[in-house]
Chains A and B, each alone.
Chain A
Amino acid sequence: MSLSLALFAMMLIPFAAAGLGLIHAGLGRSRSAAHALLATLCVLSVTAIVFVLVGFTWTGFAGGHSYSAITGDVNWNWIGAGQFLAGDVSFDGASQQVAMMLCFHIFAVGLGGVIAIGAGADRWRLGAICVSSAVFAGLTYPLFAHWVWGGGWLAQLGTTFGLGSGMIDAGGSSAIQAAGGLTALAIACLLGPRRGKYGADGMATAIPGHNIVLVLFGCVLALVGWTGLNAAGAMIFYSVAPGRVVLVVINTMLAAAAAGLAALIVTRFRFGKPDASLTANGWVAGLVASSAGCAFVTPSAAILIGLVAGGVVPYAVELFELKLFVDDPGGSISVHAGAGLWGTLAAGIFAAVAPGMRGPQILAQLVGVATLLGFVLPVAYGANWVLHKIMPQRVDRDGDYQGMDVRELGAGAYPEFVVHSDEFVPR
């Protein structure tokens, strides 16, 4: 592994979080824009600290200490057993790879934590965001990341059960994106819709994003971050040679491009004109879906992966908003959970594998998908449900009208430019 190249790639990852932050802010109301971006900063801060305090203990690394359960002759590596405060990581060059993993995880867990902000936009309290993201960084993410990247049982499916190379996920379609997206689903269900989102007849009211320029700029920023994320993950966890990193970058770009175009075409034919916000969602869905197989698939497969992700996202957004009454302003559930699950599966379908190993590899990926749905989602929902009972996560009724900026921060993001007529409606 090239240390300098991996380090450079990792340093790009915060751009992905910045991009998502801008997308969430732009797709929300103007009266909550500063709150959305401040929440992004808070999540990055909280997750980094909590992950170093306790998260890396459970995440561990391949070859490190861990706890296992043995059934028959199968060793189930369930959880890392490192020292708290990353005490077993040395920075003197002796365990360079482990230090790189820690650094990668710090950025990755922040990115995963930011995802849920999009689903809770305009109504999720800042304090609750911090506590919820602490749970994500201290519990949900470390467990699944250990299973996939820390030498856990999902990574070992190949050796223990003969399922190809075990579950593969170079850039985090499952551990970062799907885990974050499923947490977003839990948050959106617990918070309920924004006030005014659904009329008395149950019809959804369109609440368009307040600044589509932010959203589209966020997409470009996210592309930069995602190339770093995918390249760093591939090099650190799968020892992809530096010469092959260019394939990772190409696949990332191609998947995003195909997904963006697919979403644009779908919305053009469904609504008569291309929808900018759904196209942006499609673009990010392509990035999300590209992550798992970015180092193992051909460019043509990356295009196909992106086409499916981008083509499905507009329908998924509609399904959640119109049929299921799940108000997800940033489209986080469809984009990150939906495309993350697809990307995880697609890696098994399209990755280069040894002859006769296609079926087993797909099965390994399916076990990963089953784990995301059967473990990560219930844990995320249960943990946030308990938090919700202890400390209500939703802003009070007045906060819905005032907006999160005034309610929680005391000042709006655009104090001299925007007047909301409905702020003066009698309550």
Chain B
Amino acid sequence: MVARRCDSPLNLPLCDWSEIDLKLAGCLLLISGWLIALVALVMLPDFALRAAFVISGLAVEIIGLGLIARGQVTEQRQEQALKQSISGTGFGGYR
């Protein structure tokens, strides 16, 4: 069965959640990384510790960006496969 896009409530039971999960997880990691940086400022009095945790927060954000990128690539590849299976022609990725 070809995976469907989760773009309509009717598609929800059959849609492929993988790319949405990745993007959602990525967004949550972005927010988490920011919160780590904020909390580090409040809770850690030492400059070195603060710096370490702010940089750790940024690292978490970079992982989040990576997940979003992975979700984007997965989504586009699925669209590509879908278009190929329908028409066998070029892929445009339109919605």
Most-contacted residue by chain B among A191, A377, A396 (CB, 10 A): A377
Interface residues on B, range: 35 or more
Which residues B72-90 have CB closer than 8 A to chain A?
72-73, 76-77, 79-80, 83-84, 88-90
Return A57 CB to nearest CB of chain B, in Å: 24
Q: Does B30 contact A (CB under 8 A)?
A: yes
**Which residue of the partner chain B has the closest CB to A188?**
B72
Residues of chain A with a CB closer than 8 A to B84's CB:
200
- The listed residue (A195, A370, A378) touching B37 by CB distance below 8 A is A370
Provide the bound-state CA to CA distance between A377 and B93, in Å: 23
**Which residue of the partner chain B has the closest CB to A327?**
B93
Residues of chain B with a CB closer than 8 A to A195's CB:
92-94
Q: Does B15 contact A (CB under 8 A)?
A: no
Q: Does the CB pair A192–B51 fall under 8 Å?
A: no
- The listed residue (A72, A200, A366, A370) touching B80 by CB distance below 8 A is A200
Interface residues on A, range: 35 or more
Most-contacted residue by chain B among A71, A202, A374 (CB, 10 A): A374
Provide the bound-state CA to CA distance between A199 and B55, in Å: 39
Q: Does the CB pair A359–B91 fall under 8 Å?
A: no
Return B69 CB to nearest CB of chain A, in Å: 5
Provide the bound-state CA to CA distance between A326 and B70, in Å: 12
Q: Does the CB pair B27–A366 fall under 8 Å?
A: no
Given contacts A370-B34, A374-B37, contact A324 B73 (CB under 8 A): yes
**Which residue of the partner chain B has the closest CB to A374?**
B34
Provide the bound-state CA to CA distance between A360 and B47, in Å: 8
- The listed residue (B47, B68, B94) touching A400 by CB distance below 8 A is B94
Q: Does the CB pair A74–B76 fall under 8 Å?
A: no
Q: Does the CB pair A369–B58 fall under 8 Å?
A: yes
Q: Does the CB pair B47–A375 fall under 8 Å?
A: no
Return A143 CB to nearest CB of chain B, in Å: 13
Return A168 CB to nearest CB of chain B, in Å: 17
**Which residue of the partner chain A has the closest CB to B76?**
A325
Q: Does the CB pair A326–B37 fall under 8 Å?
A: no
**Which residue of the partner chain A has the closest CB to B87?**
A200
Which residues B33-57 have CB closer than 8 A to chain A?
33-35, 37-38, 41-42, 47, 50-51, 54-55, 57
Given contacts A195-B94, A359-B51, A366-B55, contact A374 B33 (CB under 8 A): yes
Residues of chain B with a CB closer than 8 A to A371's CB:
34, 37
Q: Does the CB pair B92–A366 fall under 8 Å?
A: no
Q: Does B65 contact A (CB under 8 A)?
A: yes
Q: Does the CB pair B69–A324 fall under 8 Å?
A: yes
Q: Does B31 contact A (CB under 8 A)?
A: yes
Q: Does the CB pair A198–B33 fall under 8 Å?
A: no
Counting from the closest, the 6 A-B pairs by CB-CB distance are A374-B34, A195-B92, A325-B76, A192-B93, A370-B37, A193-B93
A interface with B by C-beta (< 8 Å): 71-72, 74, 123, 157, 161-162, 189, 191-200, 202, 323-327, 359-360, 363, 366-367, 369-371, 373-375, 377-378, 381-382, 392, 394, 396-397, 400
